[in-house]
A and B are shown apart, each in its own frame.
Chain A
Amino acid sequence: DTGVSQDPRHKITKRGQNVTFRCDPISEHNRLYWYRQTLGQGPEFLTYFQNEAQLEKSRLLSDRFSAERPKGSFSTLEIQRTEQGDSAMYLCASSTFASSYNEQFFGPGTRLTVL
């Protein structure tokens, strides 16, 4: 399977704990995005990387959230001191600079439940 992969697929945690999610983009896709989706809403942009550089962060991304893409391949999203409001599906997407239309392809997501 050469699509975007995410791990874990589900995470249940207690309020106040830290969690980390991983995303592996499609091979050779140099752009990687994180989105968050809650029930009844479309995905909302959180942040994106071009290669290893984090180029934009949404105002949704509070100080408790941090994302990295250290070698320009996989990325991690960490949430510190989780809150119940962080419960959502966290989606990763990737795209290639070679595409003039910048189609983004999504991974299966990590569903986070904060108790």
Chain B
Amino acid sequence: RKEVEQDPGPFNVPEGATVAFNCTYSNSASQSFFWYRQDCRKEPKLLMSVYSSGNEDGRFTAQLNRASQYISLLIRDSKLSDSATYLCAIEGDYKLTFGKGTLLTVNP
């Protein structure tokens, strides 16, 4: 089993849609969890840290399920500007292990 596995995508959704990404991880000792957004040929930008109790930031909601070893990201009312690659990242021993990323395209 790979350390971090992500929905392969791509996802094509209309504006206003709700879209969810999932990411599973294999190391049960993982300590911190993150979602990054990466635009084409740019660096990953931290979108959200994922807290044990789940957290929300505007249209974005992140959840952590330690028992099943997965994290999720929900985007509500998607905008054209949400089009990007979404990367999950799992921290262990200070270093991040990333999934391959899921490409989201929001269409008008």
Q: Which A residues form the contact surface with B (CB < 8 A)?
A: 31, 33, 35, 40-45, 48, 50, 55-56, 91, 93, 101-109, 111
Determine the chain B residues whose CB is within 8 A of the CB of A33 once the complex forms: 95-96
Q: Which B residues form the contact surface with A (CB < 8 A)?
A: 4, 32, 34, 41-46, 49, 87, 89, 91, 93-101
- Check if A91 sits within 8 Å of B49, measured CB to CB: no
- Least distance between A60 CB and chain B CB atoms (Å): 12
Total A-B residue contacts, Cβ distance less than 8 Å: 53
Determine the chain B residues whose CB is within 8 A of the CB of A105 once the complex forms: 46
Instruction: Give me the 4 closest cross-chain CB pairs, A-B, nearest first.
Output: A42-B98, A106-B43, A45-B95, A109-B43
- Check if B98 sits within 8 Å of A40, measured CB to CB: no
Bound Cα distance A37, B49 (Å): 21
Instruction: Kindly report which residue of chain B lies nearest to residue A45, judged by CB atoms.
Output: B95
Bound Cα distance A42, B87 (Å): 7
- Check if B46 sits within 8 Å of A103, measured CB to CB: yes
Determine the chain A residues whose CB is within 8 A of the CB of B101 once the complex forms: 41-42
